């Protein structure tokens, strides 16, 4: 279990409740999302395999995140990664196998292919903070949607001509210009 704190279960929320902020993304949320992007970018760069470790005759294996699922009720983060290569046009071509990984944050463990490994409670706490931020964003977005915010897509807009400043009958020059 996480030391020094309890595992936060999924928080319930209601549309229009007092604990929901009035805007979808405030300055604080944007700064948190920026921090989130940096938190995920650093480990990805740090874990890039060393090119000298790969044999020259072996095609470089690429990986792509295919899906990511967060369950805030159980505290489990699950994702699938495909392995593949790049074709002559530089497009990623996955093989048919997907590798599935799971992190259990309350237990601070990671599982893959029947094996489990423990990681630090501090790391579990850091990941939990990131996932709570994403959960909060999803809740705020639900409120945003349910309260009718944003511009609907796929609806027809009726365009109307502006009212002329004077009747056309009194503006022969305007009428002639329109007919040309």
pLDDT tens-place string over residues 103-128: 999 999 999 999 999 999 999 999 99
Question: Alpha-carbon torsion 108, 125, 76, 81, what sign?
Answer: negative
What's the pLDDT at 44? 45
Residue 67 lies in a domain: yes
Residue 54 lies in a domain: no
Q: Within a 10 A sphere around the Cβ of 103, how many other Cβ atoms?
A: 22
Asked if the structure places residue 15 within a domain, the reply is no
pLDDT of residue 4: 41
Range of the domain at 136: 59-149
- Residue appearing with tokens 């599935």: 100
Residue 86 belongs to some domain of the structure = yes
Q: Is residue 44 in a domain?
A: no
- Alpha helices by DSSP H, the chain: 27-46, 121-146, 172-179
Q: Judging by DSSP bridges, how do beta strands 115-118 and 109-112 pair with one another? A: antiparallel
The predicted pLDDT at position 47 comes to: 47
Q: Which residue has the tokens 């590798």?
A: 99
Query: What pLDDT shows up at residue 11?
Result: 54
How many other C-beta atoms can be found within 10 angstroms of the C-beta atom of residue 81? 17
Total number of domains constituting the chain? 1
More confident residue, 71 or 7: 71
Question: 55-79 pLDDT, tens per residue?
Answer: 554 568 889 999 999 999 999 999 9
Q: Is residue 47 part of a domain?
A: no
3-class SS at 78?
A: strand
């Amino acid at each position: 279990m996480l030391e020094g704190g309890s595992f936060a279960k999924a928080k319930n929320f209601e549309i229009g409740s007092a604990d929901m902020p009035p805007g979808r993304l405030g300055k604080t949320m944007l700064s948190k999302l920026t921090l989130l992007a940096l938190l995920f970018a650093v480990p990805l760069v740090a874990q890039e395999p060393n090119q000298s470790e790969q044999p020259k005759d072996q095609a470089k294996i690429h990986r792509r995140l295919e899906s990511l699922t967060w369950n805030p009720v159980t505290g489990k983060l699950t994702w699938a990664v495909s392995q593949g290569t790049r074709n002559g046009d530089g497009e990623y071509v996955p093989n048919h196998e997907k590798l599935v990984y799971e992190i259990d944050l309350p237990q601070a463990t990671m599982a893959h292919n029947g094996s489990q490994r423990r990681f630090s409670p501090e790391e579990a706490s850091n990941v939990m903070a990131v996932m709570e931020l994403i959960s909060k964003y999803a809740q705020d977005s639900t409120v945003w949607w349910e309260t009718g915010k944003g511009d609907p897509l796929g609806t027809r807009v009726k365009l109307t001509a502006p009212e002329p400043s004077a009747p056309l009958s009194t503006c022969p020059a305007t009428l002639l210009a329109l007919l040309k």
